[in-house]
Amino acid sequence: MILESITVTNFRNYNSASISLSKSVNVFLGENAQGKTNLLEAIYVLAMAKSHRTSNDKELIKWDENYAKIEGRLKKKNGAVPLELTISKKGKKARVNHLEQKKLSQYVGACNVVMFAPEDLNLVKGSPSHRRRFIDMEMGQIQPVYMHVLNQYQKVLQQRNALLKDLARKKTKDSAMLDILTEQMIDLAAEVVIRRFRFIHLLKEWAFSIHSSITRGLETLNIEYQSSAADVLEDMDLSKIKVVYENTFERMKEKEIDRGVSLFGPHRDDLKFFVNDRDVQTFGSQGQQRTTALSLKLAEIELINSEVGEYPLLLLDDVLSELDDYRQTHLLHTFKEKVQTFVTTTNIDGIDHEMIQQAASFNVNQGQ
């Protein structure tokens, strides 16, 4: 898919800006704090209805304004898809083909994006919540039904946590309500986890071959999904997973009431990455960790293409200069012609020359 043009109004430090984009590489060039990342963020928000760097939508609205608007003309295999997202203090409104979408979960997925930014090192080095967010955001854009199930799970989880906290405070263990919520949680947890297993299974195959290619065959990357209920395993079917959860919750009931919180389920699961069979979070060098994060993002591009039938847009924020020449060339040339790419940089010297010559380049200066 190709984003042919984008218009932003009252978005971050932009009053109003409208640009026509190249279908290959677009470079946003400018000094610090001019609005380069803001533009990539606008593209990301147009696709995901959420920012990659804040969960507070109001921050996206230009100071002292009441709303922000992003409009984009997306071209897909089946034709043009105009997209429009308005963010106001009351919430968000999304339109596809000028038609308002009742649910944002229906809107997300019309445009697919993959963003790679310096913070993505957290995917490897950071806390498990970064990895869960990665899984959820990526699956959400290819499987709207996943988002729906996950939202339901989170609602039940909140209720169950509130109840457990209450039981812990009262020091009582008798609760019919807890049994009901546990049963609901098990059903939803199993639905979430079985989808995550499938996603990771596919992602892992792409990541393995990409990682091996960027490291010239020197490194193997393996990914493992680690369930907080240790006996929930990848090769189980839905009913088996439910049985295992039932046993875990039964066995750990007292501990959960004691602690006043739900200790098992997808909200506590994690991913582990192994380079040459060693845990890269613990033993990997900075470069190995960065390459692992890069391999994951590139794997996602291929996965989206294989699931959706079109390549996503690739957003690279300040990352090219951090990659060595070989990785940079690999990145830019693998997807040349296939993937529309958006790059921000303060200096073009650090970027592959051939690429710069073919790119459309935009000078970004104080929100213009």
Contacts with Mg ion by CB under 5 A lie at 37
215 binds, among Mg ion, ligand ATP, none (CB under 5 to 8 A by kind): none
**Residue showing the smallest CB distance to Mg ion in the complex:** 37
Q: Determine if 59 is a binding residue for ligand ATP (CB under 6 A).
A: yes
Min CB(114)–ligand ATP separation in Å = 18
Q: How long, in residues, is the chain?
A: 368
Min CB(292)–ligand ATP separation in Å = 23
Binding mask 325-344 for ligand ATP (x = CB under 6 A): -------------------x
Whether residue 6 contacts residue 43, with contact meaning beta carbons closer than 8 Å, is answered with yes
What is the distance of C-alpha 89 from the center of its chain?
Answer: 24
Nearer to ligand ATP, 62 or 195 (CB): 62
Whether residue 350 contacts residue 321, with contact meaning beta carbons closer than 8 Å, is answered with yes
Min CB(361)–ligand ATP separation in Å = 14
- Count of residues interacting with ligand ATP (CB under 6 A): 17
Q: Determine if 26 is a binding residue for ligand ATP (CB under 6 A).
A: no
Candidates 24, 19, 48; CA nearest to 35 is 19
Strand partners, 18: 7
Q: Determine if 51 is a binding residue for ligand ATP (CB under 6 A).
A: no
Q: For residue 223, which phi and psi values (nearest 5 degrees)?
A: -120, 135
Task: Pick the binder of ligand ATP from 12, 52, 131, 242 (CB under 6 A).
Answer: 12
279 binds, among Mg ion, ligand ATP, none (CB under 5 to 8 A by kind): none
Nearer to ligand ATP, 56 or 239 (CB): 56
Min CB(8)–ligand ATP separation in Å = 11
What is the distance of C-alpha 113 from the center of its chain?
Answer: 9
Min CB(37)–Mg ion separation in Å = 3
Task: Pick the binder of ligand ATP from 35, 72, 140, 266 (CB under 6 A).
Answer: 35
Q: Where do we find the tokens 């389920």? A: 265
Q: For residue 101, which phi and psi values (nearest 5 degrees)?
A: -95, 130
Candidates 70, 77, 83; CA nearest to 1 is 77
Binding mask 131-170 for ligand ATP (x = CB under 6 A): ----------------------------------------
Q: Look up residue 196 and give its amino acid.
A: R
Whether residue 290 contacts residue 309, with contact meaning beta carbons closer than 8 Å, is answered with no
219 binds, among Mg ion, ligand ATP, none (CB under 5 to 8 A by kind): none
Q: Look up residue 36 and give its amino acid.
A: K
Stretch of 29-37, 74-82, 112-120, 233-241 lying at the interface with ligand ATP (CB under 6 A): 29-37
Q: For residue 222, which phi and psi values (nearest 5 degrees)?
A: -125, 145
- Distance between CA 42 and CA 71 in Å, rounded? 9
SS3 8: strand
Min CB(87)–ligand ATP separation in Å = 11
Q: Determine if 30 is a binding residue for ligand ATP (CB under 6 A).
A: yes
Q: Which residues contact 193 (CB under 8 A, 6 or more apart)?
A: 227, 232, 241, 266, 269
Residues at the interface with ligand ATP (CB under 6 A): 12-13, 30, 32-38, 59, 61-63, 318, 344, 346
